[in-house]
Amino acid sequence: MAETRDAVVIGSGFGGSIAALRLAESGRDVLVLEWGGRNTAKDFRQSWDPRYLQTLYTAVPSSDYEALFRYARTLGGGSVLFSGMMLRSPSEVFEWVDETGYKPWPDGITRSLMSPYYEKVEKMMSVSQARWDEVPAGGTFFAALIQAAGKKADRGRFPYVGCVQCGFCEAACIYDAKKSLILNYIPAAEGLGAEFRTSCKAMTIKTEGAGYRVTYRDPFGTTKEVDAPLVCIACNAVEDAALLLRSAPYLDKLSDQVGRNFTNSGDLAWLWLLKKPFYENMAIWRGRTNAVMQTYGWWRSHLIHMHTGSTPPGIFGGLDVRRRGGGSPDLSWGLDHKHFAFEVYRNRLVPCQLSGMVKGEGTVRIDGTGRAIIDLPVTPVFQAYMDKVRRVAEEIAAASDAEVLDVAPRGFERGGAHLQGTCRIGASPDAAVCDPYGEVFNYKGLFVTDGGSVPSGTGVNPSLTISANAERIAEYIVGNVKS
């Protein structure tokens, strides 16, 4: 027999835990189902060992095996494992029209409307601008490159308090210096009676009476059911779509846009190789995984944002490093790669991570077992976007007599963890899955509150905009959906 709750939230990342707290504050009996385990600082390790990381992450390759996407599988979701930068999306993001003339963000949702929700998240998560003495070596190198190209770089904003610069941000912080959701939203929600049930994966959602029945598997693999008039889906853009697609036989009025419009926020990554180091005795791998410095220097002209990272040895060792001209054409394996790494890794490589505005043309579908399959083809639109970024990367390199190194067969690494759009909000089910408040078209009381509902790339790291949008949707639910 199914248990009964006032609300079920599926996922405990930014979109899930925020919704859970606000629903609990409204007096609702809230159950949160989290696929991953309950981990705290004492469980985390300073390690890039894949055997450890696979206990916290799910990694899914694209169907053509050219890109690898990852998302968190632990209580607190991506807030526990991300590299920390939390930036407000520029106003142009909310006004942007894609290459086909479609405006993803619904009219009325503007940067000014989002500002109070940004502020609310920043206060809860102790977000502030990094200090100058917190900029690691990699950030210094990046800033020098940007300055040489005639632009400015500045420090990003992070939910960090007392960071010791250990460099294991994406392996989870053992010091609790990263103020992830397990240190604020989740304990606050639990203090109000919300239950976070871990190692429980939602399988399907069906209509049941005046509400919904969520079927899930508990930690022992037993199938269980819970009924609620209100369900919030927040299990990552990929899994949001997979869950709704598995549920399609029971929710036959879903928009055909489920799983479409997938975007990785325009994320591309590469390396710059310096002819000689800016500073001889500095090591780029030391310090935060995200090396603090970032630039909007090409935002107005290209709608792209760049920052750098420390590229820990465990990550660098897995990159498919390639040189476009001269030297070995493929340095990803073997003795050539070892010699190359020994020569340049410490102080001549500057990594770059870029986000930008480009139409979401990917899809998420499911196989016969219900598992997610991701397609992110290099369409003419995406190729033009990559060509535009290539020109900027080469411009920056030329100003410092540096070289752009490819890190994937097509040049840029284009997978990542900034995944959005598969259940996007919009004005009509012809182009979107949810209405502007995140409610699934044709299904009252069923919401998508995480990155899946964010309708486009966010121009910068999406964590803060996903969180602010969750606050906005949760406010609507509390004020407009009867408990």
- Measured CA to CA, the distance from residue 78 to residue 265 in angstroms comes to 15
Q: Given the structure tokens 């598969």, which residue do they identify? A: 422
Answer yes or no: is pLDDT of 328 > 70.
no
The average pLDDT across 138-155 equals: 96
The amino acid present at 65, given as its one-letter code, is Y
Instruction: For residue range 409-468, list pLDDT tens digits in order.
Output: 888 999 999 999 999 999 999 999 999 999 999 999 999 999 999 999 999 999 999 999
Lowest model confidence (mean pLDDT) among 168-182, 337-351, 357-371, 390-404: 337-351
**pLDDT band, residue 285 (cuts 50/70/90):** confident
Handedness of CA 121, 127, 129, 130 (dihedral sign): negative
- Measured CA to CA, the distance from residue 57 to residue 257 in angstroms comes to 27
- Measured CA to CA, the distance from residue 22 to residue 474 in angstroms comes to 6
Residue 119 tokens, joined = 């502020």
- Measured CA to CA, the distance from residue 9 to residue 474 in angstroms comes to 11
**pLDDT band, residue 67 (cuts 50/70/90):** very high
Q: What is the pLDDT of residue 137?
A: 87
- Contact present, 95 and 441 (Cβ < 8 Å): no
Tell me the CA distances in angstroms from 361 to 9, 218, 482, one per residue in order.
28, 34, 36
Q: What is the pLDDT of residue 468?
A: 98
CB within 8 Å of 257: residues ≥ 6 apart? 424, 429, 430, 431, 432, 433
**pLDDT band, residue 329 (cuts 50/70/90):** low
Instruction: For residue range 229-242, list pLDDT tens digits in order.
Output: 999 999 999 999 99
- Contact present, 373 and 364 (Cβ < 8 Å): yes
Residue 67 tokens, joined = 């890109």
Environment class of 290 (CB within 10 Å of its CB; exposed 0-12, middle 13-18, buried 19+)? buried
- Contact present, 14 and 79 (Cβ < 8 Å): yes
Instruction: For residue range 109-141, list pLDDT tens digits in order.
Output: 999 999 999 999 999 999 999 999 999 988 999
Q: What is the pLDDT of residue 325?
A: 58
Mean of all residue pLDDT scores within the chain: 94
Among 124, 93, 85, 98, residue whose Cα is nearest residue 111: 93
Size (the chain), residues:
483
Count of alpha carbons within 13 angstroms of residue 407, beta-carbon side:
26
CA 242-261-418 angle, 5° bins: 75
- Measured CA to CA, the distance from residue 42 to residue 55 in angstroms comes to 15
